[in-house]
Chains A and B, each alone.
Chain A
């Protein structure tokens, strides 16, 4: 079953703190794990992505940690800022037998950074 479970549903963090969002998956055929960021009234946009053969990827204040054996991955936002307030979606990419591909998304985390 192509499913990605995301937690928490909502998160409040103080400015300067670390925001952590977690995701778990079952399908070992997933081949990439991206995170998307969505601001109110906008479409989601790719934030950062990781391959399953890499344990960590960092881009600025954003880090993905990947645990292949546990089938879990997480997004860490260091020094969280009010401008980071948004909804974050984890996802996993898949290929069907017919050569198609797509993304399965988690249900999202509404992050609020308090000044």
Chain B
């Protein structure tokens, strides 16, 4: 049982390049989330999904797109990377409706945009 895994762990992009971050969970959780973590800013929700085929915007969605084609996977895309998107990205999942407050986080992806 691997829990929540994220690929890649590190990435450096040039401004304007695109990339996709992959999140996978093997806990059969319905809900999945993408956060970004910046120093002094805590964790801010980018997008989330309440089930396969559904996605919704979070607090800071601009510049990102997501897809949830399979229940176990949640993809975060950056179409045209900007230096402001330099951050650590965390994926999380939770089982709802029973455990609304308990989210399981992946190890993170450290992204640098130059």
Q: Are A32 and B100 in contact (CB under 8 A)?
A: yes
Per the bound structure, the CA–CA distance linking A102 and B33 in Å amounts to 8
* Interface flag for B74 (CB, 8 Å): no
Find out whether the CB atom of A93 lies under 8 angstroms from the CB atom of B105. Answer: no
**Interface set, chain A 67-101, CB cutoff 8 A to B:** 89, 91, 93, 95-96, 98-101
Inter-chain contacts of A103 with B (CB < 8 A):
45, 101, 103
Which residues in window 74-114 of B have CB below 8 A to A?
A: 90, 92, 94, 96-97, 100-103, 105-108
B94 contacts across to A, CB distance below 8 A: 101
A91 touches B50 (CB 8 A): no
**Chain B residues with CB under 8 A of A106:** 42
Please name the residue on chain A nearest to B91 by beta carbon: A43
Cα of A104 to Cα of B43 in the assembled complex, Å = 8
Q: B2 within 8 Å of A by Cβ?
A: no
Residues of chain B within 8 A of A14, CB atoms compared? none
List the A side residues contacting B45 at CB < 8 Å.
102-104
Give me the interface of A with B, judged by CB distance under 8 Å.
6, 9, 31-34, 41-46, 49, 89, 91, 93, 95-96, 98-108
Besides A43-B4, A107-B42, 20 more A-B contacts (Cβ < 8 Å) are A32-B100, A41-B108, A43-B90, A43-B107, A43-B108, A44-B90, A46-B102, A49-B101, A89-B43, A91-B101, A93-B101, A96-B56, A98-B56, A100-B50, A101-B31, A102-B31, A102-B45, A105-B42, A105-B44, A107-B40
Q: List 17 A-B contacts (CB under 8 A).
A: A9-B40, A34-B102, A43-B106, A44-B43, A46-B101, A93-B100, A93-B101, A95-B100, A100-B31, A100-B48, A100-B50, A101-B50, A101-B96, A105-B42, A105-B43, A108-B40, A108-B42
